[in-house]
Amino acid sequence: MTARARGLAILTGLAVFVAGWVAFVSAWSGPAGAGPTGRGAVAGTRAADLDAFRNELLVWAPGGFSEREVGRVRDSTRVAAISAVRTGTLAAASGRRAYRVVPLEAMAVDTNAYASATGKPGRKLATLLPKGAVLSRTGAKLRRVKSGGKLRLDGNHTLGVSGVVDDALLGGYEVALDHTMGRDYGIRRTAYLLVRPRGPVEGLQTEVRRLLKGRAVRFLIPGDRPYVRGGDGVLPLSQVKARFGEFALPSLHRGRPDPAWTKANLVSRRVPILGLVRCHRLVMGDLAKAMADLERQRLRGQVNVADFRRRGGCWSPRLLRDPRGGRLSRHAWGIAIELKATGDERLIQTMARHGFVWGGGFARPDVTHFEWVGQGA
């Protein structure tokens, strides 16, 4: 190969690398205009982060699993190792009287079981969890707490922070607790299972369906999503906060978001088809482009505007989607929208092109729900 040919080959390789990196950053750096750096910076995941789960099958179902169901799967001869991951919401203290709590998405695990499931990275976690709470990097940044510090909770409770780990190791959750401590804070129900198969993974899937007959069981393999966690393919709460800001509430189960956050982040603008809408300022551009795209395709008739307005549009003060689990609705951030459509696949595809995932594919289908997750929806 001549020197000129070698030079061209190197330049071509660099161009491919840069293009791939740009695509990756675009997919996970947030809405248009948010940028990958500054206050809105987000701790992403790398392919290497998912290696901790490479031998696992994740099993989940709407509503989680009872202890009896976990036991059935655990006792199967097709299971080599298993970790039950319990999830819930902690109330961090905001330091304010009227809006005193900040919701934290938390997980609780049996330390040894989770370490066994995740290998070497998990063994590091196993040394930290018995000593206190472990924060994800994004969670630590949001709380402004370092290893050795204190996590202040509502009611004058504090948790010692024994370490800070990569977001991926905690499945995108903000804080991890040992399962015995998690019970003290109401984190009891298993949301999903990490299972290491004994034999072919297909055989384990068949066995789990048999053992949990009647449940709408879903399976995930590491690499299917940026985070190994149960639930539908939406952004973890930590990533929502990092991109769109964090607000305080009067309590976890009542009240509207802090008015200071609302004033700084929510805007009302006119967009094609829908007219005047109120959404988060960083999502408004993508929503407007999606509606303009539908209009160019002459699909205006696919959207029921009257129903959209009856349902409250984009932003809504309603907070809880699942009162039992305390899951915060993304409408509280103004990044979800309800659109009653006639079923044309082109509407779903157009919304996806502009970053909105369709709720019709959720484990509990919500056919009017569209939620911003970014590119690759």
Collapsed DSSP state (helix, strand, coil) of residue 265: helix
Q: How far apart are CA 80 and CA 91, in angstroms?
A: 36
What residues does each domain of the chain span? 3-30, 47-241, 256-372
Residue 344 CA, distance from chain mean position: 27
Alpha carbons 324 and 279: distance in angstroms, whole number: 27
Give residue 363's pLDDT.
Answer: 85
pLDDT in tens, 222-237: 888 889 999 888 999 9
Q: Name which residue leads in pLDDT, 311 or 58.
A: 58
Give the pLDDT confidence of 32-50 residue by residue, as tens digits.
Answer: 434 333 333 333 444 445 6
The SS3 assignment for 152 reads strand
Contact between 102 and 94 under an 8 Å Cβ cutoff? The reply is: yes
Burial 195-232 (b: 16+ CB within 10 A, else e): bbbeeebeebbebbeebbeebebbebebeebbbbbbbb
- Given this structure, which CATH class describes domain 256-372? alpha beta
Looking at every residue in the chain, the average pLDDT score rounds to 84
Work out whether strand 369-372 and strand 356-358 pair parallel, antiparallel, or are unpaired: antiparallel
Q: What is the pLDDT of residue 134?
A: 97
What are the pLDDT digits (tens) for 100-125? 999 999 999 999 898 888 777 778 88
Q: Is 178 helix (H, G, I), strand (E, B) or coil?
A: strand
CA 306 to chain CA mean position, Å: 30
CB 34 within 8 A of CB 42: no
The Cα diameter of the chain in Å comes to: 73
Q: Is 141 helix (H, G, I), strand (E, B) or coil?
A: helix
The CA distance from 353 to 375, in Å, is 7
